[in-house]
Structure 1
């Protein structure tokens, strides 16, 4: 047995970590729109052909839109000549053939424009859906790769909101706003050129109108983006509150917290509503100001164009053509005002997605990482200091060597660093200094996949996923046959209760296994670990909170799981610790006691802890017996 007193805490010097969200730096220097475009750009390249086809269809749609007013011009001028009007230039008179040809021509142009618009919409919708799907998958993979540093401080509801809602908003705007925006900008440029050709003087009205719109848009877009950013942040907070409340619904109902949490949700909901209304109010104000600009431009062209016709500088058909072009070219201004709000809100969503992707993945394979292969299971911690973020060290200069194939119980008061050892073993975090080893290899030199394939982890909170019992066990090894799944369940003492269900192994379990008892959930996770057949088994408080019958069943399954494997058991139960080959007592992040159970019973701290628990267990049994007799 080795005994050690807790020495004074050493001075720990750590290299500064890069901040997760810097206040000044390249990320903040880039504009929100540019950041949004940059996160989608890698995915857009894969769909160049589809988007190129959409652009071609869009260009043809613009051409047909430019041609659309010309049959009307020909008819108006022809009718004016037939009625005896003297017009500038020469042209045909109105005949049945001309009128019919213009009518058919207009119908063909409208039909072709509609077809091109349909093809462009479908192409961009397909591209947008595929890009959003790929981006959502990329963000999900990124979030899964983040270490304990991120997941211990982030809120799940907000992360899900970014993953689903914000990415979905990017897709929606790309199709409903991005496509019309491109078409309208091209239309505005082309029609502006045609209007300058028809009458440069009147065309200046369009230039002034566009310049006025750009000035208003520039002043409003930033405010809309800020308001939209607050709205999306508020929606993320709402998702957090809902997720936490519904995830702990039994506690909420038992403690009568429905009103308290409803008030909290209502307060966040009202704030989100206020921010959302402000965003839409700013967007609506921009749209209405744009309507005024369009109205003024139309009035000026109508009056000035009428005077130009009277002077003989243009024909009535030219004026009709100009007015139709003006109406069509002013529509892009109205749409630009309408889509400015949508794009600003999408930019706020894009920023949130970009912030998530900017989170640093700090647990990665080294460039020269090697595959561990099938490990024997020797585990060693050398001069290891570990901490969460910039907090105080949890483990301090820890030295601990665990022999392969033996069982070791890690005990000690709460906060002594027991669960931190688990995170270090599976490399959910890296030590600040020192190193962790398996079979003599530093974990940082081993490929993550090969390391984790050698470890089975069973937690106190038995984690099951929505699906069948068979699927949950098979997560231990994806290629396992049904026979292997059932054999693992038998070894884990789970087969009997599974077979008792109407659907057996095809029984669906609810979210986190809520339809099963604690003991049943735990035995399924043991079956999953057995199926994995890993040489290192880590058990973290697996019997805590179970009744005596469930505890006995779980312990029987654990005996099968841990046989011949390196087993590290984190426990607060003396009865569990005493069954192990070795017990390590952690306190204040250091090893205080280390030896066999018999050796540690000679130490007052450990012996007193065991006796207290045994006395409590005896008192509980006596109380239970008395209750049964009564």
Structure 2
């Protein structure tokens, strides 16, 4: 049986957006409800605005004090001057109440929107940090940053400057057409004659504008990603005189984004002009029919004034929708990009029954591990097959071999940045996939090849890695272990010195010793060192090596390195090639085997 088109129809993007953000709105229900009540009261005041003027026209300016129509009974028996003062006072009172209600609804809804979207941004930032390395590997940092900052900012702006006025006008539209039906139902039906044409035009144009806005937001995300890539590599760009090439690449994307922006504006402007013409047609029809009704005595001039005023205001929501449709469409496209990111599921998650990891000794075992990296098309490039080795508690094992052999992948599997396709990684006999991610990573200290330092003080940078509160003495002790205390004291404000972005105000050796101090203050039983001496001169390499050897004492340590002189100081060396363990043993044992390790050793140390 075929399904009906309605059954196959997808929910509107606005409905999907409202459903996705509903959990963030629930804590703000009281504020949103109060603001909407103020909005309804403001609408009521706006509906009352034409009535004092109608009183004046029908019962003061007419000269007779008697008039037919809806207002006649209310004015019966009252003094003309008294009516005039009442009408003038009513104008001021209505304006004042409308101003108060407008202010309350505007501030209330703006505050609620700001709180909701701030919560969304915080959740999105936390979600981005939980997404796997595979996701970040195929995503562009600039685009992700734009979704986090610009897209949510656009949603916040649209909430205040477009969506809230539209809500107000929807209330006004309903109220005014209700009163118009009471005033003269025949005239109201005349006013509604052009509505089908109006709805068709706005729906068609809105759909086109939304598609263009969606493409533009995607293009702007790509533009932001390209700008971030070029700025991150500014040293290389300037060194190789690549400014013109980068300008051509950036300028091409910028031109396409500008074209899409102009197209969106053109569609919005065209919609506004169509709406203006249709509204003018409806007004002309009502004016003709209403004038005949007044001449025939079936309608008073004041009632016609109220009707025309309401008609003009009733079409305001449609006019403003045409005016703001571009902004709303951009906000909708931005919201879809945010929702797409929130709906992205992390590849690495805690199992429902995951338990905290308990490290009593620190044994590490890779048991029949198979693993490969997945490409964008879903295919898998195998790396390990039946990888198996053990690291005893407190033992230091160096993993070495040619580039691309899978050395760093072993540490990524231990940290659960990736999960193996087969087999298990165990710590003290516990499968790490059965443990919570937080408890696993708290048991491991890491000294990476490129340490990440933040633009805060030296003291804060060291203390960031601590698992609890730390004292000044502990921070200093960690810096001393890392051979960092001396150069820190020579900084302008010592431990209170604020570092440049990514630690740019420090040398490579100083940054690496800061990373060692951070690992020391974490004081975890497991330690991973990932190429910690790469790119250092002889003096800094000696300082870093001595600090690392002190850090490794009493910890189960995995040292990933190409530096065989450093690897030789480990208890055991595992030589990996093409995803397989080719040799393992102590430095002396591997030299005695005269295999690949011995060959590489002679290349690095030809004199020995």
**Band of TM-score, shorter chain:** over 0.9
Q: Distance in 1 between matches of 2:305 and 2:542?
A: 90
1:413-432 alignment to 2 at 5 Å?
413-432=402-421
Instruction: Report the aligned-residue RMSD.
Output: 1.9
1:147 aligns with 2:132: yes
2:516 equivalent in structure 1 = 526
2:600 equivalent in structure 1 = 609
SS state of the match for residue 535, structure 2? Answer: coil
- In structure 2, the CA distance between the partners of 1:369 and 1:85, relative to structure 1 (3 Å rule), is closer
Aligned counterpart for 1:229 among listed residues 204, 214, 225? 214
Aligned counterpart for 1:400 among listed residues 375, 378, 389? 389
Aligned counterpart for 2:32 among listed residues 37, 48, 51? 51
Tell whether the 8 Å contact from 2:268 to 2:322 is kept in structure 1 after alignment.
yes
Q: Distance in 2 between matches of 1:466 and 1:314?
A: 74
Q: Distance in 2 between matches of 1:29 and 1:341?
A: 22
For this pair of structures, how many residues does the alignment match? Answer: 592
Instruction: Tell me how far 1:306 sits from its aligned partner.
Output: 1.3
Tell whether the 8 Å contact from 2:191 to 2:283 is kept in structure 1 after alignment.
no
Aligned counterpart for 2:352 among listed residues 348, 364, 367? 367
| Deviating more after overlay: 83-92 vs 436-445 | 83-92
Tell whether the 8 Å contact from 1:79 to 1:94 is kept in structure 2 after alignment.
no
- In structure 2, the CA distance between the partners of 1:545 and 1:29, relative to structure 1 (3 Å rule), is farther
Tell whether the 8 Å contact from 1:213 to 1:290 is kept in structure 2 after alignment.
yes
Q: Distance in 1 between matches of 2:225 and 2:516?
A: 31
2:4 equivalent in structure 1 = none
1:6 equivalent in structure 2 = none
- In structure 2, the CA distance between the partners of 1:134 and 1:88, relative to structure 1 (3 Å rule), is closer
1:212 aligns with 2:193: no
2:62 equivalent in structure 1 = 81
Q: Deviations over 1:200-250 (max 9, x none)?
A: 121113323433322112111221111111111111111111111111211
SS state of the match for residue 387, structure 1? Answer: strand
1:543 aligns with 2:533: yes
1:479 equivalent in structure 2 = 469
Q: Distance in 2 between matches of 1:582 and 1:297?
A: 88
Tell whether the 8 Å contact from 1:585 to 1:592 is kept in structure 2 after alignment.
yes
Q: Tell me the TM-score normalised to structure 2 length.
A: 0.94
1:191-590 alignment to 2 at 5 Å?
191-389=176-374, 390-477=379-466, 478-590=468-580
| Deviating more after overlay: 388-397 vs 526-535 | 388-397
- In structure 2, the CA distance between the partners of 1:572 and 1:248, relative to structure 1 (3 Å rule), is same
Q: Distance in 2 between matches of 1:285 and 1:481?
A: 66
Tell whether the 8 Å contact from 2:191 to 2:286 is kept in structure 1 after alignment.
no
Aligned counterpart for 1:593 among listed residues 583, 593, 600? 583
| Deviating more after overlay: 387-396 vs 206-215 | 206-215
Q: Distance in 1 between matches of 2:196 and 2:45?
A: 26
Q: Distance in 1 between matches of 2:415 and 2:195?
A: 60
Q: Distance in 2 between matches of 1:86 and 1:178?
A: 42
Q: Distance in 2 between matches of 1:539 and 1:148?
A: 19
Tell whether the 8 Å contact from 2:530 to 2:560 is kept in structure 1 after alignment.
yes
Instruction: Tell me how far 1:341 sits from its aligned partner.
Output: 2.3
Gaps of 5+ in 1: 1-25, 620-630
1:158 aligns with 2:148: no
SS state of the match for residue 192, structure 2? Answer: helix
SS state of the match for residue 569, structure 2? Answer: coil
Q: Distance in 2 between matches of 1:518 and 1:27?
A: 59
Q: Distance in 1 between matches of 2:33 and 2:492?
A: 55
SS state of the match for residue 509, structure 1? Answer: coil
Q: Deviations over 1:423-473 (max 9, x none)?
A: 101111100111111111101011111111110011111111121111110
Tell whether the 8 Å contact from 2:357 to 2:432 is kept in structure 1 after alignment.
no
- In structure 2, the CA distance between the partners of 1:101 and 1:85, relative to structure 1 (3 Å rule), is closer
| Deviating more after overlay: 211-220 vs 97-106 | 211-220
Q: Distance in 2 between matches of 1:311 and 1:197?
A: 19
Instruction: Tell me how far 1:374 sits from its aligned partner.
Output: 3.7
Q: Deviations over 1:523-572 (max 9, x none)?
A: 00100000000111101111001111111111111111111111111111
1:41 equivalent in structure 2 = 22
- In structure 2, the CA distance between the partners of 1:462 and 1:301, relative to structure 1 (3 Å rule), is same
Q: Distance in 2 between matches of 1:495 and 1:141?
A: 34
Instruction: Tell me how far 1:375 sits from its aligned partner.
Output: 4.0
Q: Distance in 1 between matches of 2:437 and 2:394?
A: 22
Q: Distance in 2 between matches of 1:349 and 1:431?
A: 36
| Deviating more after overlay: 47-56 vs 601-610 | 601-610
Q: Deviations over 1:569-619 (max 9, x none)?
A: 11111111111111111111111111111111123311110011113xx79
Q: Distance in 1 between matches of 2:87 and 2:426?
A: 84
Instruction: Tell me how far 1:41 sits from its aligned partner.
Output: 0.9
SS state of the match for residue 456, structure 1? Answer: strand
Instruction: Tell me how far 1:170 sits from its aligned partner.
Output: 1.3
1:20 equivalent in structure 2 = none
Q: Distance in 2 between matches of 1:391 and 1:154?
A: 18
SS state of the match for residue 44, structure 1? Answer: helix
Gaps of 5+ in 2: 1-6
1:116 aligns with 2:97: no
2:46 equivalent in structure 1 = 65
Instruction: Tell me how far 1:66 sits from its aligned partner.
Output: 0.7
Q: Distance in 1 between matches of 2:220 and 2:417?
A: 29
Q: Deviations over 1:62-121 (max 9, x none)?
A: 111111110011000013431699756845587222111101101100110111011000
| Deviating more after overlay: 333-342 vs 130-139 | 333-342
